[in-house]
Amino acid sequence: MSSENVEPFDAVDVIRAKRDGAAVPEDALRWMVDAYTRGYVADAQMASFAMAVLLNGMQRNEIRVLTDAMIASGERMSFAGLGKRTVDKHSTGGVGDKITLPLAPLVASFGVAVPQLSGRGLGHTGGTLDKLESIPGWRAALTNDELFAQLRDIGAVICAAGSGLAPADKKLYALRDVTGTVEAIPLIASSIMSKKIAEGTDALVLDVKFGGGAFMRDVDKARELARTMVALGTDSGVATTALLTDMNTPLGLAIGNANEVRESVEVLAGGGPADIVELTVALAREMLALAGQPDADVEAALRDGRAMDTWRAMIRAQDGDPDAALPEPRETHTVTASSSGVLTRLDALPFGIAAWRLGAGRARAQDPVLHAAGIDLHVKPGDTVIEGQPLFTLLADDDKRFTRAFDALEDAWEIGDTAPPARPLVLERITA
């Protein structure tokens, strides 16, 4: 047997080191990721390693090496030839989180390039591409040449990430999903940041959500994730900041796909729900500050139509019709208030699950989504309601879906006598 076929490390040794709480040496960790991507390290071994990481954590340098090894498994993009600064945003996902849609054109209207490589929804958190695909003709798949041309000419692109970015992450992500290791902070952080760093952006703003409808329910865990990702970006030469934002209540009044596009267009027209506007403006300010424009008048660009012009150009460039009618549901069902008072609670997670069951999301990666399905909210916590007033409307293409959606919504809202205490939408700003 020739010596070139001998592997320099053994997966069992790497697993044992992490099982016993030790730091894995850099060259062994790089080998582990590469050998798993090549198929030499088996799924069972990588699953065992992922569980050891979940239970024992990783040091900052280990997470940096893990992330770097995942980047090295695929291609790296570069926007160096664009002639303008690039800044991206990533959200850890939530219910009604359509912020990317108004945010990308808003920031691009200041002459900054926003390469927003986005994904599809799985489970109760919606996918940006699914939302945009409710616009007739719009396409998510762009070649690298189309991506560059659109960034150069318009400034904003929201499209599907190519399969060449961090293939190790794609393989490990699928494994984590079926082995109960999704919640491991080092694995979440390296998964998100390997793709973002490989994308080649100059700067990155993270929207890290906490609360009932978020991936990280616990605010301390969300803060730890944010700090870990900001450190990874900084260590890799990407200017990175994070906002810690509340996801206990759905964002805005629309949960779904087509209805979230409608709401995004309202924001670009200078209107829209206050919370969507607040978060869009806060993230835009962060992005523009990292791009060297700390004094940009973000609200003015929403008022004077600049952001809307960029949106329309962005949609047209990807073969979408910004004036086309969006899909409408065949069936609707409105739930009204059973008593008068104040809406004290409206829980994000059950409403996200209900929208998913109505057809707005998918249970398996290959499932289609129904673009007209979802939920329109008519009130938010703190609003006064009178008996018989509409609270929310379920939207579906088939009324048989309403029963399971209602099952998810049992005890998901509450009407009381006194308004709940006001909670800040943006809790904290995290920097390097």
* Same-domain pairing of 116 and 158: yes
Domain total of the chain: 3
Q: Taking residues 150-166, what's their average pLDDT?
A: 91
**What's the chain's average pLDDT?**
94
Predicted pLDDT of residue 1: 45
Q: Report the candidate in 394, 430, 374 with the shortest Cα–Cα distance to residue 260.
A: 374
pTM score: 0.94
* Same-domain pairing of 226 and 285: yes
Q: Is 194 a catalytic residue?
A: no
Dig out the tokens for 264 from the structure. 């995004």
Q: Is 177 a catalytic residue?
A: no
* pLDDT tier for residue 165 given thresholds of 50, 70 and 90: confident
Q: Taking residues 50-69, what's their average pLDDT?
A: 96
Catalytic one among 89, 90, 223, 285?
Answer: 90
* Same-domain pairing of 28 and 93: no
Catalytic one among 91, 190, 191, 194?
Answer: 191
Predicted pLDDT of residue 118: 86
* pLDDT tier for residue 4 given thresholds of 50, 70 and 90: low
Query: Which position has the higher pLDDT, 182 or 217?
Result: 217
The answer to whether 279 and 89 are in contact (CB under 8 A) is no
Q: Taking residues 153-166, what's their average pLDDT?
A: 90
CA distance 408 to 392: 14
CATH number at residue 12: 1.20.970
* pLDDT tier for residue 203 given thresholds of 50, 70 and 90: very high
Q: Which residues contact 37 (CB under 8 A, 6 or more apart)?
A: 73, 167, 168, 171
Domain contains 269 = yes
CA distance 355 to 255: 7
Say if residue 84's pLDDT is above 70. yes
The answer to whether 382 and 418 are in contact (CB under 8 A) is no
* Same-domain pairing of 224 and 295: yes
Give the pairing of strands 413-416 and 341-346. antiparallel
Domain contains 421 = no
**pLDDT tens per residue across span 96-118:** 999 999 999 999 999 999 999 88
* Same-domain pairing of 192 and 158: yes
Catalytic one among 68, 97, 130, 169?
Answer: 169
* Same-domain pairing of 297 and 191: yes
Q: Is 169 a catalytic residue?
A: yes
Domain contains 431 = no
* pLDDT tier for residue 161 given thresholds of 50, 70 and 90: confident
**pLDDT tens per residue across span 352-402:** 999 999 999 877 767 789 999 999 999 999 999 999 999 999 999 999 999
Domain that holds residue 392: 331-416
Q: Is 191 a catalytic residue?
A: yes
Say if residue 2's pLDDT is above 70. no
* Same-domain pairing of 392 and 299: no
Predicted pLDDT of residue 363: 72
Q: Look at residues 293, 324, 355 and tell me which one is the last residue of a structural domain.
A: 324
Alpha-helix residue ranges (DSSP H) falling in 39-123: 43-56, 60-72, 100-108
Catalytic one among 131, 176, 227, 401?
Answer: 176
% of the chain beyond a pLDDT of 90: 87
* Same-domain pairing of 145 and 33: no
Query: Which position has the higher pLDDT, 197 or 118?
Result: 197
Catalytic one among 30, 195, 362, 371?
Answer: 195
Say if residue 301's pLDDT is above 60. yes
The answer to whether 205 and 106 are in contact (CB under 8 A) is no
* Same-domain pairing of 194 and 319: yes
* Same-domain pairing of 167 and 254: yes
